[in-house]
Copies of this chain bind each other. A is one copy, B any other.
Amino acid sequence: MIRILVADDEHLIRDAIAGLLDLQEDFEVVGQAASGTEAIAAALRLRPDVALLDLQMPGPDGIDVARRLSAELPECRSIVVTSHGRPGYLKSALAAGVRGFLPKTVSSRMLADVVRKVASGGRHVDPELAAEAIGAGDSPLTPRETDVLALARDGAPVDEIAQRVSLSRGTVRNYLAAAIAKLGGANRHEAARIAAEHGWI
């Protein structure tokens, strides 16, 4: 019997996936969590075999949770599930000790197979996401450029960004220009959008 923890902030999805998994005779959903914090607490308490984590959650996201769990509860294997897009997170997910990485576009049969595979010590990464991640490659941005672009993401003016990273206006503009050039955008906002799509910020 494989003991599973399901974490997703959307109650309906969480219930539905938990119900789906519970239908399998060799699965038992032992707990549910609606946030990263809850997921960590529940995992430490319930010690499941597999933690099925949504990537986007309030508080710590799925990857943060996986990192904590692989450090504090190594016998619990993590699988991260994500909505469409976001191949850029794959690399950091693997670095965080995630054993399975799937988009929500896979079939329920595939999810069950992956849970079994991971529970028995294997790994599984969705081939399509893997291809996209390889195609997209690593972020071309330097750490500083990443910081600055991340702050520019929701429309903050340069001065505010400069203050937050303790830089002069000119320097911030320079980093933004570099990011814009590297990403091929027409301005910072397009660049931020592109970087976000690739999971680089």
Is A86 interfacial (CB 8 A cutoff)? no
Q: A residues 165-189 with Cβ under 8 Å of B?
A: 185-189
Asked whether, in the complex, the Cβ of A105 is within 8 Å of the Cβ of B155, the reply is: no
Separation of A16 and B192 alpha carbons in the complex (Å): 34
Nearest chain B CB to A150 CB, angstrom units? 14
Name which residue of chain B comes closest to A15, CB basis.
B108
Residues of A in contact with B, size category: 35 or more
Q: Is the interface of A mostly helix, strand, loop or mixed?
A: mixed
Contacts of A73 in B (CB 8 A): none
Query: Which residue of the partner chain, among B17, B154, B187, B191, contacts A12 with CB atoms under 8 Å?
Result: B17
Known: A15-B20, A193-B154. A10 touches B187 (CB 8 A): no
Q: A12-B108, A155-B186 are in contact. List 20 more A-B contacts (CB 8 A).
A: A9-B105, A10-B84, A10-B103, A10-B105, A11-B107, A12-B106, A12-B107, A12-B111, A13-B16, A13-B104, A15-B107, A15-B108, A16-B17, A16-B19, A16-B108, A19-B23, A154-B190, A155-B187, A155-B190, A155-B192
